[in-house]
Amino acid sequence: MNLIDSFGKQPKSWMMAEAISALALVAVIDIITPWQFSWFIFYAVPVFLVALNFPRRVGITFAIVAAVVGWLANFDTVEHRGAGAYAWSGVNRMGGLLIAAACGISIQNFREETRRRVEALEHAQELEREILSAGEREQMRIGQDLHDGVCQTLAALDCAAQCLKMDLETEGSPQVKLAGEIQKRLSAATLEARNLARGIYPVTIQGDGLGLALRELVMMTNTLCQGKIGFESDDEFVVKDSEVALHLYRITQEALSNAMRHANATHVSVRLRRDQQHLTISVMDDGCGSAIQARPDGMGWRTMRYRAKLIGAEIKMESKPAGGTTVRCLLPALTTSVN
């Protein structure tokens, strides 16, 4: 098969010249050898190669030419075989060489169809990656706008409310308590908006910031669920590709979100482990099962699997009979670098 592939990698003119030369050589040998020896298979080889690498019409034409050449090469055997037998032999040779051409054409069609399907699949995957990248860029824009716009406005209002409270305290106004409550709510709203902006786009994800970003994600989530989430990490590590790091962050974020919203867990743990083979991120809960278990074909799980596939990682989900679910994402160590 390697010889066939090597033949097909040559320029078309070279392939045709070699096929014609091979056909002529076989014809010469056929002429000088006794007529009892059949050289049909050697005529079929160049026919097959031409049909495999040239358009269909060229392959069929070459098969007919080869049949005629073979018929002429054995013309001196008419007196031994008889005219009828010689004609029948020519028809059989023609049919056999057309079958050889048909085999070459079929394989060529199969290769072209396979190539088209692979190209279509690669194009679809490229579109999916572009859609995902566009989504991330839009999230980044929204996160930055939220941080630079709403967060700054809320921070300014918080500062103004604090000043108002101090002025009212100085005047001994009975509205001090109300001003304090307003300032307290503005502070909470500012913190919530900042956490939301960081969740939408974690700025520290670049370079060696994955561990810091995940730790911050856990801290932000803990402010909403009264400290249910623990975080453990091995030595500091670097994920060379920021896009890979962002996908790992999103996978962890989705797994953590599922555990908190659907598993009814009392405790969730996020762990980062590394060894010689893998960097492993685990999200473990002690709940009754997540939405992923209930709907393994749901959008969240499918998105996590797709993100893992994009970066060459493997994602697994394990459930314990006594309750609790673990989602693990294993990234080959070749993608990471340890400080």
With a cut of 70, say whether residue 297 has pLDDT above it.
no
Total residue length of the chain = 339
Q: Per-residue DSSP letters for 231-296? A: EEE-S-EEES-HHHHHHHHHHHHHHHHHHHHHS--S-EEEEEEE-SSEEEEEEEE-SS--HHHH-T
CATH for 203-339 (3.30.390.50, 2.40.10.10, 2.40.50.200, 3.30.565.10): 3.30.565.10
- For the stretch 298-324, pLDDT in tens is 677 888 888 888 888 999 988 877 778
Q: Which residues make Cβ contacts (< 8 Å) with residue 189, sequence separation at least 6?
A: 154
With a cut of 70, say whether residue 176 has pLDDT above it.
yes
- For the stretch 241-269, pLDDT in tens is 778 888 888 898 888 888 887 767 788 89
pLDDT at 116: 92
| pTM score over 0.85 | no
Map out the domains of the chain as residue ranges: 2-125, 203-339
* Confidence label for 121 from pLDDT (cuts 50, 70 and 90): confident
**Rounded Cα–Cα distance for residues 217 and 257 (Å):** 11
Most confident of 199-203, 275-279, 321-325: 275-279
Number of H helices, E strands in the chain: 12, 7
